[in-house]
Amino acid sequence: MDIDLIIKNGTVVDGTGTHRRVIDIAIKDDKIVSIDQCIPQNGIPIIDAQGLIVAPGFIDIHSHSDFLWLVRPESDSKILDGVTTEICGNCGLSAFPLRGKLLERRSQGLAKYGIVPTWRSATEFYNIAERMKSSINRAFLVGHGNIRACTLEYENKEPGPPELDQMGKDLEDAMESGAFGMSSGLIYPPGCYANLNEITEMCKTVKKYDGFYATHIRNEGDTLEEALAEAIEISKQSGVRLQVSHLKTSGSKNWHKINKIKMIIDRARNEGVDLTCDRYPYIAAATDLDVILPHWVYEGGTEKQIQRLKDANARRRISKEVSQVYDDAAWNGIMISSVYHSKNKWIEGKRISEIAVLLNKPPLETIFDLLIEEDTRVDIFLFSMCKENLEKIMGWDFVFVGSDSSVRANQGILHDGKPHPRSYGTFSRVLREFCLDKQLMSEEKAIQKMTGLPAQKVGLDRRGLLKEGYFADITILNPGKITDKSTFTEPHQYSEGIEYVLVNGKITIAAGRHNGRTHGRILRKS
Looking at the structure, do residues 421 and 307 belong to the same domain, yes or no?
no
Tell how far CA 169 is from the center of its chain: 26
Looking at the structure, do residues 100 and 231 belong to the same domain, yes or no?
yes
Report the alpha-carbon angle 466-467-472, nearest 5: 60
Looking at the structure, do residues 299 and 446 belong to the same domain, yes or no?
no
In a domain, 522, yes or no: no
Q: Which of 383, 400, 422 is the last residue of a domain?
A: 383
Quick check: helix, strand or coil at residue 87? strand
In a domain, 150, yes or no: yes
Name residue 57's amino acid.
G
For the whole model, what pTM was predicted? 0.96
Looking at the structure, do residues 416 and 478 belong to the same domain, yes or no?
yes
Q: Where would I find the beta strands (DSSP E) of 454-524?
A: 474-477, 498-503, 506-510, 513-514
Contact 333, 384 (CB under 8 A): yes
Tell me whether residue 149 is exposed, middle or buried, using C-beta atoms within 10 angstroms of its C-beta: 0 to 12, 13 to 18, 19 or more: buried
In a domain, 151, yes or no: yes
Looking at the structure, do residues 307 and 275 belong to the same domain, yes or no?
no
In a domain, 49, yes or no: no
Q: What is the pLDDT of residues 92-128, one digit of tens each?
A: 999 999 999 999 999 999 999 999 999 999 999 999 9
In a domain, 44, yes or no: no
Tell me whether residue 387 is exposed, middle or buried, using C-beta atoms within 10 angstroms of its C-beta: 0 to 12, 13 to 18, 19 or more: exposed
Looking at the structure, do residues 374 and 472 belong to the same domain, yes or no?
no
Check residue 62 and give its pLDDT: 98
Compute the chain's Rg from CA coordinates. Answer: 23
Q: What is the pLDDT of residues 261-310, one digit of tens each?
A: 999 999 999 999 999 999 999 999 999 999 999 999 999 999 999 999 99
Check residue 327 and give its pLDDT: 87
Per the structure, the complete domain to which residue 304 belongs is given by: 288-383
Looking at the structure, do residues 67 and 175 belong to the same domain, yes or no?
yes
Distance (Å, whole) CA 17 – CA 400: 13
Looking at the structure, do residues 268 and 300 belong to the same domain, yes or no?
no
Q: Which of 383, 403, 420 is the last residue of a domain?
A: 383
Give the chain's domain count. Answer: 2
Residue closest to 80 by CA, chosen among 504, 521, 492: 492
Tell me whether residue 1 is exposed, middle or buried, using C-beta atoms within 10 angstroms of its C-beta: 0 to 12, 13 to 18, 19 or more: exposed
Looking at the structure, do residues 277 and 404 belong to the same domain, yes or no?
yes
Residue closest to 138 by CA, chosen among 183, 52, 79: 79
Looking at the structure, do residues 425 and 318 belong to the same domain, yes or no?
no
In a domain, 450, yes or no: yes
Looking at the structure, do residues 501 and 362 belong to the same domain, yes or no?
no
In a domain, 445, yes or no: yes
Q: Give the CATH number of the domain where residue 259 resides.
A: 3.20.20.140
In a domain, 45, yes or no: no
* HSE, side-chain direction, 13 A CA sphere, residue 425: 22
Buried residues in 172-198 as b, exposed as e (16+ CB within 10 A) = bbbbebbbbbbbbbbbbbbbbbbeeeb
Check residue 328 and give its pLDDT: 85
Check residue 1 and give its pLDDT: 72
The residue ranges of the chain whose pLDDT is under 50 are none
Q: Which of 320, 353, 383 is the last residue of a domain?
A: 383
Looking at the structure, do residues 358 and 404 belong to the same domain, yes or no?
no
